[in-house]
Amino acid sequence: MNMPKPRITPKLGSIDELLKLSEQPPHNADPISSKGSIQSISINKIRFFKDHPFHLYEGERLTDMVDSIAANGILVPVIIRTIKPDEPGYEYEMLSGHNRMNAAQLVGLEHLPSIIKERLSDEEALLYVVETNVLQRSFNDMRPSEKAKVLSIRHSEMFSQGKRNDIIDELKRLENPQYNKENETSAPMGQRPTSRDKVAQEYGLSKNSVSRLLRIDKLIPGLKQRVDADELPLRCAVHLSYLSEGEQSMVEQSINNNGFKLDMKKSELLQGYSGRLSTEQTDKILSGEATRKPRSQTPPPFKLKHKVFSKYFTSQSKASEVEQIIDEALEMYFTHQQQHASAHNDKEAEEHEPEL
């Protein structure tokens, strides 16, 4: 019996041709390149990337994407990787296409045209996530924690130059089937500079700014959110980044429970307790108790007015004599006050004494 020949999809020449892929019935798979194929995958089987470091589109940008997908479907396939099935029934994890999936869910689509990656390491998967967002967003428009994640990858030794460039080329080719690497006149966005100076130059940042953002990537998610919301000053956040995750959690919990505000003095003090910070000490520092000066037990200095001084002393009076007289006068006054108070108390006691 003759087996039917497999259906071959012609080479895609434009985005319009790529659009037809989203109109295929579920579970059809057509070759798109020698490295992978496009399959229609149920959205219910795809989870967001764990600890996804980028915020989803909001407002007008989200509305535009929803309207476009409602009218035209998914133009560019998402990239996902296989994972061990978990309790909610997820079998895949999103790498490139979080906003498309979010908008598709709002439209009511049930399947996504997807390119499935097998046997990717967590580091390689993260690279897909980061590079996708760098290509789609302006670095200057990113939130501090997002910039921190991008710079930490750029500054990392985890990935080889060749692997990074391959991912960049793949993402660009999906966005534009006519993309030709050889026609690129500038270096790929994924090219990792060899030093912090070059990272700073690439993004128009000072070396100090790069250093601070690299520290921000070491914060726990709750503190990163406070940095992004301008609730935690960047320089204060850098101090907190030197605390352990457990110590950072104590700081976050204390801020959340009490509404404390952080300033440079408090954050520096917290950093100084790195490795030995307790919940009690955290609250004392954040409340200001640890830095509050105790009230002085000594009365403030007092200057005797001239009109009072001149009633009792002349211009020839020596300072030592004036001081001695004032001291003796005050002693007599307070002794008299004490005797008067004692006599008054004795009288009250007699009046209230019960008759026998």
Asked whether 228 and 144 are in contact (CB, 8 A), the reply is yes
DSSP codes, 234-299: HHHHHHHTTS-HHHHHHHHHHHHHH-----HHHHHHHHHTTTS--HHHHHHHHHTGGGPPPPPSSP
Nearest to 107 by CA among 22, 21, 49, 29: 22
- The whole-angstrom separation of Cα 2 and Cα 187 is 51
Using the predicted structure, report yes or no on whether residue 98 has a pLDDT greater than 80.
yes
Q: What is the pLDDT of residues 259-285, one digit of tens each?
A: 999 999 999 999 999 999 999 999 999
Q: What is the pLDDT of residues 174-207, one digit of tens each?
A: 766 666 665 443 444 444 444 567 667 777 888 8
Question: Which pTM value belongs to this model?
Answer: 0.59
Q: How does residue 337 score in pLDDT terms, banded at 50, 70 and 90?
A: confident
Nearest to 127 by CA among 81, 180, 76: 81
In terms of DSSP H, where are the helices of 27-111? 59-72, 98-107
Element (H, E) at 199: helix 196-203
- What is the pLDDT at residue 254? 95
Beta bridge partners of 96: 79
- What is the pLDDT at residue 164? 63
Place of tokens 């598709």: 104
Asked whether 96 and 129 are in contact (CB, 8 A), the reply is yes
Q: Which two tokens stand for residue 138?
A: 């302006």
Asked whether 113 and 78 are in contact (CB, 8 A), the reply is yes
Q: Which residue has the higher pLDDT, 341 or 244?
A: 244
Element (H, E) at 113: strand 111-117
Q: Which two tokens stand for residue 40?
A: 């229609």
331 three-state secondary structure: helix
Burial 314-338 (b: 16+ CB within 10 A, else e): eeeeeeeeeeeeeeeeeeeeeeeee
Q: Which two tokens stand for residue 54?
A: 């980028």
Q: What is the pLDDT of residues 21-57, one digit of tens each?
A: 333 333 333 333 334 588 999 999 999 998 888 989 9
Using the predicted structure, report yes or no on whether residue 13 has a pLDDT greater than 80.
no
- The whole-angstrom separation of Cα 113 and Cα 39 is 6
Place of tokens 């006149």: 185
Using the predicted structure, report yes or no on whether residue 20 has a pLDDT greater than 90.
no
47 three-state secondary structure: strand
Beta strand 78-82 with 46-47 is unpaired
The arithmetic mean of pLDDT across residues 314-343, rounded, is 84
DSSP codes, 26-44: TT-EEE-SSS-EEEEEEGG
Alpha carbon separation from 219 to 93, 163, 247, 258, 291 (Å, rounded): 24, 28, 11, 20, 25
Q: What is the pLDDT of residues 207-243, one digit of tens each?
A: 888 889 999 999 999 999 999 999 999 999 999 999 9
Q: What is the mean pLDDT of the chain?
A: 79
Residue 107's contacts (CB-CB under 8 Å, 6 or more residues apart) are 66, 69, 70
- What is the pLDDT at residue 123? 84
